């Protein structure tokens, strides 16, 4: 059976986990922490990051690569890319805006989740990048009702995994969620929160965060 390695407080782990649930691929979760020094870990995930998967004896890292692999390795399962070439390109554009630009702008501020202080200058620089990324998202997002149109796609997988952590980060830091300033985003996120796969994902994420915080307070 396919194995997913990492931990459920990571947005990138949750991107792959949500894709596996939505495609109905059978999988098993294995908790591992990232490492940039453990040779065994680096042989599985050379950049020292999570998540990575194990399938048919091989290890694969980088979430976008993993999703492309799922599409190729499970051709009989529902594809999460639109069939039309332009719509599929738009879907990938949305994923790139969320996974690359929004995530990397917000990442320096994520420490707040794990009980770390975040310096005000880091918060304001992160917010500037996030606001720019959200304007890019606004130019491409359709909310019809899904991010890339009328079908659930990988754009929704990326958005659910990362927009929620970005929003919660700034809500904690500044008392306001910048994602909700994107017209249509509030209703979209509320709709996504009702999906059975998303409910399951969030329950696991909350439980893992509680465990992590208990560990830190010990």
Ligand X SMILES: N[C@@H](CCC(=O)N[C@@H](CS)C(=O)NCC(=O)O)C(=O)O
Residue (191 or 209) nearer to ligand X, CB: 209
10 binds ligand X (CB under 6 A): yes
Q: Cα(38)–Cα(35) distance, rounded to whole angstroms?
A: 6
Which of 4, 5, 20, 63 is close enough to bind ligand X by CB under 6 A? 63
**Residues 22, 199, 98, CA angle at the centre, nearest 5°?**
65
Q: Binding ligand X by CB under 6 A: which of 2, 4, 5, 12?
A: 12
Query: Quick count: other Cβ atoms within 10 Å of Cβ 121?
Result: 8
Nearer to ligand X, 170 or 176 (CB): 170
216 within 8 A of 114, measured Cβ to Cβ: yes
The reply to whether 17 sits near ligand X by the rule CB under 6 A is no
The secondary structure element, H or E, covering residue 6 is strand 2-6
**What number of chain residues touch ligand X (CB under 6 A)?**
11
Q: Does 184 bind ligand X (CB under 6 A)?
A: no
62 binds ligand X (CB under 6 A): yes
Provide the minimum distance between the beta carbon of 195 and ligand X in the complex, in angstroms, as a whole number. 21
Helices (H), the chain: 11-23, 39-44, 63-73, 85-96, 103-106, 120-140, 154-174, 185-193, 196-217
CA angle 193, 97, 9 (to 5 degrees): 45
Rule CB under 6 A: say whether 164 interacts with ligand X.
no
Chosen residue from 21, 48, 96, 113 binding ligand X by CB under 6 A = 48
| 14 binds ligand X per the rule CB under 6 A | no
Closest CA to 65 of 122, 130, 12: 12
Closest to ligand X by CB, 110 or 188: 110
Confirm or reject binding of residue 34 to ligand X (CB under 6 A): yes
Name the residues that contact ligand X, by CB under 6 A: 10-12, 34, 36, 48-50, 62-64
């Amino acid at each position: 059976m396919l194995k997913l390695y990492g931990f459920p407080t990571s947005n990138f782990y949750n991107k792959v986990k949500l894709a596996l649930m939505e495609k109905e691929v059978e999988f098993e979760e294995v908790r591992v922490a990232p490492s940039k020094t453990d040779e065994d870990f680096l042989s599985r995930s050379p950049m020292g990051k999570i998540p990575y998967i194990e399938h048919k004896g091989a290890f694969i890292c980088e979430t976008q690569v993993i999703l492309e692999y799922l599409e190729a390795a499970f051709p009989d399962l529902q594809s999460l890319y639109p069939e039309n070439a332009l719509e599929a390109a738009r879907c990938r554009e949305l994923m790139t805006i969320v996974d690359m630009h929004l995530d990397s702008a917000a990442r320096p501020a994520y420490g707040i989740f794990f009980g770390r202080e975040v310096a005000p200058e880091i918060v304001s620089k992160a917010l500037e990048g996030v606001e720019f990324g959200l304007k890019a998202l606004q130019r491409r997002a359709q909310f019809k009702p899904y991010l890339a149109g009328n079908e659930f796609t990988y754009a929704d997988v990326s958005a659910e995994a990362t927009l929620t952590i970005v929003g919660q980060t700034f809500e904690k830091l500044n008392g306001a969620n910048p994602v909700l300033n994107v017209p249509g985003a509030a209703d979209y996120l509320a709709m996504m929160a009702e999906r059975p796969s998303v409910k399951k994902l969030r329950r696991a994420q909350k439980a893992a965060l509680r465990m992590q915080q208990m560990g830190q307070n010990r």
